[in-house]
Amino acid sequence: MGWKEWSFFAILLGLGDLAGDVKPFYTYSPHEISIRTPILSTFSLPSILALDEENNKLIQQRATSKATPTRVRAYLYSAACDFGCLTKGRGDLETLSHEVLRIFFADLPKKKFSDPLSEKIGNQVLLVYQTRFNAEEKRLQPALIKRGDNFWKPKGGEAAGLYEGSASPWYIESAKIFSFRPLPAPDSAYWQDQLEQLKESKGEDEEEKKGLSQSLNNDAWQNLLKEAARKENVDPLTYLYERALLERTLHDTSIVVFEGKYKIGARRPEAISKGLTTLIPTPAHPSYPSLFSAQASAANTLLSVLYPKQRQQWEKTAQTAAESRVLAGIHFPIDHEEGLRIGRLVAQKALREEK
């Protein structure tokens, strides 16, 4: 059975303007999950957060061009949420998580579930996500790198995110349904104006923004979600749902952005202004649109709905972090602006699908 044959289960929490129970991303028949043996162990937020830390270290160490951290976490967190919902917040979540990671990193040792119910339900969840993974692997294709002096060129042959644009999205129908604002001609005076804006952006907060541009990467938005969950003492199932929603949306955002990056092939600022000094290393992929800005915008949109009391904090963090990439000299202002727009659209799509 292909992964698309598993029907999606629209959900959203009773937070802000949203309502409903926490339910799995995929549907499972009563026959698949029925068992009479009770589970004794219960999830707790501290235990989930500790497991998060352990798993993220492994993901960062083993990430590849196909098994990107965001893609792996989208699977891991979605499967964990499904499992938690089906077991009503009980069971061997640690083994379930380990076995999801084995889908991507097959050399990891196999682990056995600690109780019969965890085993039966866990295996059903694993089957769904293994099926999705198998279908997705068949469609993954490296993006074509545009050739010519007016397009981005990889340094030393290194190109990141080549497979991201062809990954299977969670909420959007396809990355191709999003259109990007067309860029002016490479020899246009527009780019000199963009460079001037970039240079003028260096201000008193340079070191602070440099720090943000270096720290708000990879699992940073999940860390901000953890802080909010701790502060409001959310229940474990709610947290499992929120982190899955966030990571699926971030992955969809990455899919859309990388589809656009390699299709457009825009040069980085340093390729146009040879003497430009960057504050941080330039990422190994095209400039437009900014993935950093897009994911910041998507995260801000979601977190502002899940934790509306902290809306101003989310907006400020996202805007400052995204602008820091322009200040660092690795993005043009238009990269940042288009990234914010795309990230917001993807998150809005995710929220509509969850209602």
Domain ranges of the chain: 7-139, 155-354
- Whole-number pLDDT of residue 279: 84
What's the whole-number average pLDDT of the chain? 86
Q: Biggest alpha carbon distance in the chain? A: 71
Q: What is the pLDDT of residues 178-194, one digit of tens each?
A: 899 999 998 899 999 99
Collapsing DSSP to helix, strand or coil, 8 comes out as strand
Q: What is the pLDDT of residues 314-342, one digit of tens each?
A: 998 888 888 888 888 899 999 999 999 99
pTM of the model: 0.89
Half-sphere exposure of residue 230: CA atoms within 13 angstroms, side-chain side: 11
Residue 202 banded pLDDT, cuts 50, 70, 90: low
Matching residue, tokens 């989930």 = 48
Over the Cα atoms of the chain, what is R_g?
21
| 248-253-254-255 Cα dihedral, nearest 10 degrees | 90
155-354: CATH number = 1.10.606.20
Q: What is the pLDDT of residues 272-302, one digit of tens each?
A: 888 788 888 899 999 999 999 999 999 999 9
Q: Is the separation of the CB atoms in 180 and 342 below 8 Å?
A: yes
pLDDT at residue 265 greater than cutoff 90: yes
CA distance 42 to 20: 22
Q: What is the pLDDT of residues 45-59, one digit of tens each?
A: 999 999 999 999 999
